[in-house]
Amino acid sequence: MTEPTQESMQTYSREQIEQVVGLDATALGTIRDAFIALGQGKVVQPPILSMAIEEANGEVDVKTAHIQGLKHFAIKISPGFFNNPARGLPSLNGLMVVFSAETGLAKALLDDGGYLTAIRTALAGAVAAEALSRPDSKRVALIGAGEQASLQLEALRLVRDIESVDVWARDKERGERFARDTEQRLGLTVRSHDSLHAVCQNADIIITATPSHTPLLDYSMLPEGVHVTAMGSDSPEKRELEADVLTDCDYFVCDSRAQSEINGELKGLDEDQAKACEVYELGKLLADGRRLRDGDQNSGDQNSGDQNSGEQAETATDTLITVADLTGTGVQDTAIASLALARLAQR
């Protein structure tokens, strides 16, 4: 009897991966479907393994998840060292190992240098904005001027017709350079601001993408009808939002409540504030087909046949303030890694 042979594990470089995975509609759908699977309870997702390396302003996260019915699962090792730009090195690095969900055998090493993490993070932001922002949103405020801020903007354009961008960065020169480069590259009107209040005041969508350890936004900065996507708080020491943003907004939505309570914005609430904050999970909203901006929280009124009540519901949802806290989940990593492997195998 012939013994079964084990296939050798394939190794793919960042250059190879970049050629097949980017910010496209199919990749967006892959991440959206991963959120839905999570909301439907079809995902096994253990807690994040995290380690801080404080003397180097660094951290390492290990994430994984298995999606029911998917042929593969991924384990990702993701270092983030935030002093690296001063050395001419990227802040984010890392790799993913893809395994068979049937045999547990390693199938591929995706030596992506953090590229897939950056892409799936941007796509997750777009999924949140698609679900929670006003469909007519055109003006974006970016808090942060790094790689992820740029990718968030590009991914957002898959779901919203963006016309203008306002940007704020701690480093004024970096913010101004980001504005010039983005305006030239994307053909949008982009302005840099010194003030957080100024950058937010006309926004339809606010995206925070910083490694800040202290809150940057409070509720008074948020214009009526705005949606906020907070991307930066993904470890216990990070925080971008004051507590009143969570407690006073109309809807606070996170990718994982358990992760938000440890690594995300929920950890900043005291006991009383936590009781006052109603929390939704994005995957469950998507799985249930809920569209908060469509007024489905008042569906009884909309089904009454009264045109005026429908118009009133639409007007009411235009003034909602929604907030998404995205800490990054293992299910997104397995989803994007599976997409990458499928596309690489076709080449």
Q: Kindly state whether residues 270 and 250 are assigned to the same domain.
A: yes
The domain in which residue 221 lies consists of 134-328
Here the CATH number for the domain that contains residue 39 is 3.30.1780.10
Q: Quick check: is 4 in a domain?
A: no
Q: Kindly state whether residues 89 and 186 are assigned to the same domain.
A: no
What are phi and psi for residue 157, nearest 5 degrees? -70, -10
Res 178 pLDDT > 60: yes
HEC profile of the chain: CCCCCCCCCEEEEHHHHHCCCCCCHHHHHHHHHHHHHHHCCCEECCCCEEEEEHHHCEEEEEEEEEECCCCEEEEEEEEEECCHHHHCCCCECCEEEEEECCCCCEEEEEECCCHHHHHHHHHHHHHHHHHHCCCCCCEEEEECCCHHHHHHHHHHCCCCCCCEEEEECCCHHHHHHHHHHHHHHHCCEEEEECCHHHHHCCCCEEEECCCCCCCCECHHHCCCCCEEEECCCCCCCCCCECHHHHHHCCEEEECCHHHHHHCCHHHHCCHHHHHHCCEEEHHHHHHCCCCHHHCHHHHHHHCCCCHHHHHHHHHHHHCCCEEEECCCCHHHHHHHHHHHHHHHHCC
Conformation bin of residue 253: beta by default, left when phi > 0, alpha when psi is -120 to 50: beta
Q: Kindly state whether residues 142 and 71 are assigned to the same domain.
A: no
Q: Quick check: is 125 in a domain?
A: no
Average pLDDT of the chain?
Answer: 91
Q: Kindly state whether residues 190 and 251 are assigned to the same domain.
A: yes
Q: Kindly state whether residues 172 and 266 are assigned to the same domain.
A: yes
Percent of the chain residues topping a pLDDT of 90: 81
If you average pLDDT over residues 219-229, what whole number do you get? 97
What distance in Å separates the CA atoms of residue 90 and residue 93, rounded to the nearest whole number? 7
User: Token digits for 315?
Assistant: 């007007």
Q: What is the pLDDT of residue 312?
A: 42
Q: Quick check: is 89 in a domain?
A: yes
Higher local confidence (pLDDT), 315 or 130? 130
Q: Quick check: is 1 in a domain?
A: no
Q: Quick check: is 3 in a domain?
A: no
Out of 204-213, 245-254, 314-323, which region has the weakest mean confidence (pLDDT)?
Answer: 314-323
CA 233, 238, 240, 246 dihedral sign is positive
Contact between 321 and 225 (Cβ < 8 Å):
yes
Q: Which of 2, 18, 7, 3 is nearest to 100 (CA)?
A: 7
Label residue 135 by pLDDT band (50, 70, 90).
Answer: very high
Q: Kindly state whether residues 200 and 107 are assigned to the same domain.
A: no
pLDDT, tens digit (0-9, with 9 covering 90-100), for 325-346: 999 999 999 999 999 999 999 9
If you average pLDDT over residues 198-225, what whole number do you get? 96
Q: Quick check: is 124 in a domain?
A: no
pLDDT, tens digit (0-9, with 9 covering 90-100), for 258-312: 999 999 999 999 999 998 899 999 999 999 998 777 654 433 333 334 444 444 4
Q: What is the pLDDT of residue 266?
A: 95
Q: Kindly state whether residues 79 and 171 are assigned to the same domain.
A: no
Q: Kindly state whether residues 154 and 235 are assigned to the same domain.
A: yes
- Structural domains in the chain (count): 2
Q: Quick check: is 128 in a domain?
A: no
Contact between 86 and 271 (Cβ < 8 Å):
no
Here the CATH number for the domain that contains residue 257 is 3.40.50.720
Res 25 pLDDT > 60: yes
Q: Kindly state whether residues 161 and 243 are assigned to the same domain.
A: yes
Label residue 129 by pLDDT band (50, 70, 90).
Answer: very high
Q: Exposed, middle or buried, 188 (CB in 10 Å: 0-12/13-18/19+)?
A: middle
Q: What is the pLDDT of residue 284?
A: 96
If you average pLDDT over residues 97-114, what whole number do you get? 97
Out of 67-71, 151-155, 202-206, 304-308, which region has the weakest mean confidence (pLDDT)?
Answer: 304-308
Q: Exposed, middle or buried, 182 (CB in 10 Å: 0-12/13-18/19+)?
A: buried
Q: Kindly state whether residues 148 and 38 are assigned to the same domain.
A: no
Q: Quick check: is 281 in a domain?
A: yes
Q: What is the pLDDT of residue 327?
A: 95
Q: What is the pLDDT of residue 306?
A: 46
**Terminal CA-CA length for the chain:** 34
Q: Kindly state whether residues 202 and 248 are assigned to the same domain.
A: yes
pLDDT, tens digit (0-9, with 9 covering 90-100), for 40-59: 999 999 999 989 899 999 98
| Edge-to-edge strands, sheet with 279-281 | 189-193, 164-168, 139-143, 205-208, 227-230, 322-325, 251-254, 279-281
Q: Kindly state whether residues 80 and 143 are assigned to the same domain.
A: no
